[in-house]
A and B are shown apart, each in its own frame.
Chain A
């Protein structure tokens, strides 16, 4: 049965995020992912308070990165959370967001090596072992925690490109595919299968999540209006190969990028087309969203993550998802 996750960006007051987390648990969501950017509220502070006010939903960073947070510190953080909420913590890790890393002059050095080494370190440390790494990016000798936790913490890798997708399947417990459309998910699953095969494992042993931009409302125009700003940012940050796959001209994407960088929001958002919304989000009425989610599940997605904006009104959209979408998949 497909699982459902919800993503929050902790831009809101902490108590609003926590309120929505309680609501998401009550609505039947299985996972809660909170993003990690230095300019929003700290991910682990946000997760700590969520852990205190929820009982069942699994949660974790979605995703942290090893460039601003050393893997031993990530291990410390998720292990500490696991002490508060045993069996409920997951760890999402990726190469991070280029824009915010750029603000602090931090490069995504050797991303594949960084991810491989980070996962190794986090797994060792959270399993109570000494982490030893003579890696290309991280050198660690005998790092271990002074406390132990009962069970391993599943590690999900955030991935979009072929080599990272393959690596995620090779070494992760799950993959967070940064995509919303079957044109991107289908080839991604191919790379995941390759990576799993390389490691001698079945894809079924992995939790493969479509980490989408999502917007639902009974009025499709309201759903669309809410998602346009998010899609603009996605288009602005997408590599040409992805844009071409969806028939989007790089010059149009450049115009949106330019609008965003100069904070000319009208230019940026006004350039978003219905084709872009279709390509980079799951957006529409509940029935339309059910149909789009079903397509992805048929391809092999085992977790569907509803990411920003969720809808024009977050509280009402979570209710809508809980009453009109989840029952189609959870019986």
Chain B
């Protein structure tokens, strides 16, 4: 499953909340944690344009969050009402950027 497919499972009314929750998770990454530079720059580009709470923005955040902490990302998705099958697909999600 691709990140955009999982994002589409999040109710649109919760996209702002999802962006905040995933951002917090990513920012909690410990010092020295490595994210793929391309992914990071992509997130910063989208954030600069205030587009984190869009399909593109959330897809990027989801990929980064999954790298930082897959278990906590699953918990966030569950809290946001994402269907069980979509949450379960997170770990096998097709990643655009490789660590």
Could you give, for residues 1-39 of chain B, a 1 whenever the CB lies within 8 Å of some chain A CB and a 0 otherwise?
A: 000000000000000000000011001010111010000
Q: A13-B32, A15-B35, A15-B40 are in contact. Are A315 and B24 (CB under 8 A)?
A: yes
Measured CB to CB, the nearest residue on chain B to A14 is: B40
State which size class the interface on B falls in: 10 to 19
* Assembly CA distance A11 to B30 (angstroms): 11
In the complex formed, the residue of B with least CB distance to A313 is B24
Q: Fill in one digit per residue for B39-59: 1 if any A CB lies within 8 Å of its CB, else 0.
A: 010011101101000000000
CB within 8 A of B27: which of A11, A19, A22, A54?
Answer: A19
Bitwise, A50-61 to B at CB < 8 A (1) or not (0) is: 000111000000
- Does A240 lie at the interface of the complex (its beta carbon under 8 Å from any beta carbon of B)? no
A9 smallest CB distance to B (angstroms): 12
User: Which listed residue (B23, B31, B43) contacts A315, Cβ 8 A?
Assistant: B23
* Interface secondary structure of A, over-half rule: helix
The one of A12, A15, A26, A55 that contacts B44, using a Cβ cutoff of 8 Å: A15
Contacts A26-B50, A53-B44, A53-B45 known; A13 to B24 CB distance under 8 Å?
A: no
B44 proximity list for chain A (CB < 8 A): 15, 18-19, 22, 53
Given the known A-B contacts A15-B40, A315-B23, A315-B24, are A55 and B31 also in contact in the complex, defined by CB atoms under 8 Å?
no
Cβ of B90 to closest chain A Cβ, rounded Å = 22
3 A-B pairs with least C-beta separation: A15-B40, A53-B44, A53-B48
Could you list 20 examples of A-B contacts with CB < 8 Å?
Answer: A11-B31, A12-B31, A13-B29, A13-B31, A13-B32, A13-B33, A16-B27, A18-B44, A19-B23, A19-B27, A19-B44, A19-B47, A22-B47, A22-B48, A23-B47, A26-B50, A53-B44, A53-B45, A314-B27, A315-B23
Residues of B within 8 A of A (CB): 23-24, 27, 29, 31-33, 35, 40, 43-45, 47-48, 50
**Given A11-B31, A315-B23, list of 6 further CB < 8 A pairs?**
A13-B31, A15-B40, A18-B44, A19-B23, A53-B47, A55-B48
